[in-house]
Homo-oligomer: A and B are copies of this chain.
Amino acid sequence: MSTPSDTCTHPLDILFHPESVAVVGVSENSESQGHMYLRQLLDFPFKGPIYPVSRDAGEVLGVPCHRRLKDIPGRVDHVISCLPHHQVLELVKDCADKGVRSLHLYTARMAETQLAERLDLEKQVIRTAREGGVRVIGPNCMGLYCPESGLTFRFSLPKEAGHVAFASQSGGNAADLEYQGVGRGLRFSKIISFGNAADLNESDFLAYLLEDPQTRIIGLYLEGVKDGGRFLDLLRQSDGRKPVVLFKAGRTRAGARAVVSHTASMSGESAMWEAVCRQFGVVGVHSIQEMADVLLAFQFLRPSSGNRVLVMGGGGGGSVAAADLCELAGFEVPPLPPEMREEIRSFAPDVWSLITNPMDGSVMGGLEILVRAFQTGAKWDGVDLLIGNTSAVWLLDSPQLAARHELSSRFLVDLARESEKPMAIFVNAGDTRTPWRVDAAAKAMDMCREAGVPAYPNARRAVNAMAKVTGYFRRIRQGR
């Protein structure tokens, strides 16, 4: 992956670093979106002047409102519109007059309604914006998040910046990625929710993110593409220098219909998208949950194209399942070599014959043997990757035993931190109802995040994320 430098000369970079922001369509109603954008920018905080614009309110959240954009005395770089659709055209003209660089249209009910007059309106808005030198994000979207400059669109987005960028046609899916990933440590350079993509589209954002030195890994949620040729050219030129993880929705007839009324997109052929992924080394995923899982592994794991896995921990049934999952995902789960079995025999004379790969944590007969067996396994040069399972379920059989779950999780997390091999950990998180079980699983996941170890709530998701990431690097290594 490329080493970040501090400067970015791409023309879209200024979108993420405005010196001032106006929120147009603010009201005193704390549940209105304009009010929420204002509060989010004040709270985050955005690092420059924030101007609320409202026809009615004198002051919102302690900030005096302007009645029109042109009434703002200073320069305005970026505008967020929460106006209803029929007021947008006027706003675009005001933006052009004011020298605004970018306009984010939270405003919806445009082309996605499929009504002829709204399709026309959307076209007219974009034409007017282009003539006035204003770039448009949306309409029908949540806009921009950039922790570095303090732009945000959601209270729960982290203040801390990272190196993953996500560009999404769905605002809900952008929110979902936070929901699925941030608690496990996923951190972002930028999140872009761009809805109908009437002006700036997927290719514009992909081109920028491929250049952006703050971004090392790119996630995309697409319902359609505006310019397929340009998009493919970008993927071809990107040459694997940053992983691109793509969730392409609308794979079925029903999905394609839903895509039209969501972002007015044409979703295209499913088979074509699979071919695109194969040809250009794009990592395909099929849900936001899987997107979070894979981005997390790219973020935390050192690059590896290795294929041989050692699984440690859990009980017998879980070990069998993990072995099956690994091999079905294309990994090898090699048996322990005779010399390692002899070494294990020396410190575990009663149980050595039960210790294999996966290493079932429940046959060890004690923590001391478990620790020595796992440490021996982690050093074994016959494997490239490690997967740890904190959760033999009997450790979640009583609150007293849960203390032991914490011990075993801590040991696995330390092993992951000390090992030179990439390691993922899974914590069986099946019971959402019993508070001490919920706490025990959450505590183990927290330890992982703090140590920079990717954590998953079951074996399937851990194995899948490892397979997608190593598959990417294998393809890079083989020159595609």
Chain A interface (Cβ < 8 Å from any Cβ of B):
109, 112-115, 154-156, 168-173, 175-176, 179-180, 182-184, 221, 223, 249-255, 257-259, 261-263, 286-289, 292, 314-321, 323-324, 326-328, 332-333, 335, 350-351, 353-354, 356-358, 360, 362-363, 392-394, 396-398, 428-434, 437-438, 441-442, 445-446, 457-460
Write the chain B residue with the least CB distance to A398: B155
Q: Are A176 and B353 in contact (CB under 8 A)?
A: no
Chain B residues whose CB sits within 8 angstroms of the CB of A323 once the complex forms: 252, 254-255, 257-258
Check A316 against B397 for contact (C-beta < 8 Å): no
- Rounded to whole Å, the gap between the CB of A246 and the closest CB of chain B is 14
B172 touches A314 (CB 8 A): yes
Closest 8 A-B residue pairs measured CB to CB?
A170-B317, A172-B315, A183-B433, A252-B327, A254-B333, A173-B317, A255-B324, A262-B316
Chain B residues whose CB sits within 8 angstroms of the CB of A262 once the complex forms:
316-317, 319-320, 360
Question: Taking the full assembly, how many copies of this chain does it contain?
Answer: 2
Report the nearest B residue to A247, measured CB to CB. B321
The answer on a CB contact under 8 Å between B432 and A445 is yes
**Nearest residue, chain B, Cβ from A168:** B317
Contact A156 B397 (CB under 8 A): yes
List residues of chain B with CB within 8 A of the CB of A458.
287, 289
Partner of A429, one of B169, B172, B263, B432: B432
Residues of chain B lying within 8 A (CB to CB) of residue A176: 317-318, 393, 428, 430
Name which of A254, A255, A324, A428 has the most chain B CB atoms within 10 A of its CB: A254
Residues B353 and A318 in contact, CB atoms below 8 Å apart = no
Alpha-carbon distance A433/B443, docked complex (angstroms)? 9
Q: Kindly provide the distance from the CB of A277 to the nearest chain B CB, expressed in whole angstroms.
A: 16
User: Could you say which residues of chain B place their CB within 8 Å of the CB of A356?
Assistant: 257-258, 261
Given A315-B172, A441-B432, verify A335-B257 contact (CB < 8 Å): yes
Q: Report A109 CB to chain B, min CB distance, Å.
A: 7
**Do A316 and B263 touch (CB < 8 A)?**
yes
- Within the complex, which residue of B172, B223, B317, B438 is in contact with A394, where a contact is CB–CB below 8 Å? B172
- Return the contact of A445 from the options B113, B170, B324, B433 (Cβ within 8 A): B433
Report how far A38 CA is from B240 CA in the complex, Å: 60
Given contacts A253-B327, A261-B356, contact A179 B430 (CB under 8 A): yes
Q: List 11 A-B contacts (CB under 8 A).
A: A112-B354, A170-B320, A176-B428, A176-B430, A252-B327, A252-B328, A255-B323, A257-B323, A258-B360, A261-B316, A263-B316
